Amino acid sequence: MHGLTGMDHWDAVHASERAQVARPREATPVRWPRRTLERLLGSRLREYVSSYDEHQLWSRVYRRHMPRPGATVLEIGSAPGEHLARLSRGFGLVPWGIEYSGTGAELNRATFAAGGLDPAHVIQMDFFSDECLRLCRDRFDVVVSRGFVEHFEDPARVVDRHLELLKPGGLLIVTIPNLRGVNGALTRLFHPELIPMHNLGIMTMASFARLFDAARVRRLACAYVGTFSFYLFSVKAGSRLAPLLRVCMRLQTMLNVLFRLCLGDGGAENGFTSPQLVFIGIKGVLRRTPLEPLPFPDARGR
């Protein structure tokens, strides 16, 4: 499978994540707005300053669709492992990860060990290898990937491999960033080298939905998630724009609060500013079943 990014890129990304483990981006609110926000929000401060699009994903989408505790979940491209650890804590799922990068696999195992999870559940392997298919076919109750399929020229084939590893009746969750609209413009400003690493052609609702064969997976949700987030962006090491992006990250803290206060759980999802798209479906439905309502109002934008 021909990818748009190389191993060197992912090793560098995961090495940077490893360096930041002791100081996660949103562990505490930035200093200058904290006192004002504490007066306004009190004990709800941490909840309200956290990422609004992540709140939408976890509280509105995941909570609606996740299976019973004890179900197995596999993440493709799982480093640094925090997403799987949170799925374990929040929904009682048994986490597994497949990670191609050696640096990423090492980081994922450390994350699991720190959270009391089994580091042996992190498999360093080529997701597209015959060995992966032999070991993992029809094995997992949930298969997740986040920011993975858009790095390939033929993402529909990547989705098909996800389904190969999923049990019949299992839950497929695929999330990709939205680098079109204002997000595309800001990515080109802050880190233009990332653009060629992404398949921008699948980042509309219609083209994203077409990746999922209706004969193999029944759609439960296909929607934009979040309203806007500076957390989507990064800069190249040594970039002169790094101070500007740091200011934008501080601004996002205030935007998170504003979105929660003004939009609640309703959101303002759209193709121009929302930071991500998500598809959720069930593998192997044998009869035609009406689609469940989308978790967002009129989230079928182009």
What is the average per-residue pLDDT within 233-238? 94
Task: Specify the pLDDT at position 299.
Answer: 39
Establish if 128 belongs to a structural domain. Answer: yes
The answer as to whether 301 is a domain residue is: no
Domain that holds residue 180: 7-283
pLDDT score at 301: 40
Residue 30 lies in a domain: yes
Residue 294: inside a domain: no
Write out pLDDT tens, residues 196-235.
999 999 999 999 999 999 999 999 999 999 999 999 999 9
The predicted structure's pLDDT at residue 48: 83
Which residues lie closer than 8 Å to 260 by C-beta, 6 or more apart? Answer: 47, 48, 52, 55
CATH number of the domain within which 270 lies = 3.40.50.150
Whether 288 maps to a domain, the answer reads: no
Does residue 302 sit within a domain? no
The answer to whether residue 201 sits within a structural domain is: yes
- Mean pLDDT to the nearest integer, 26-41: 52
**Domain count across the chain:** 1
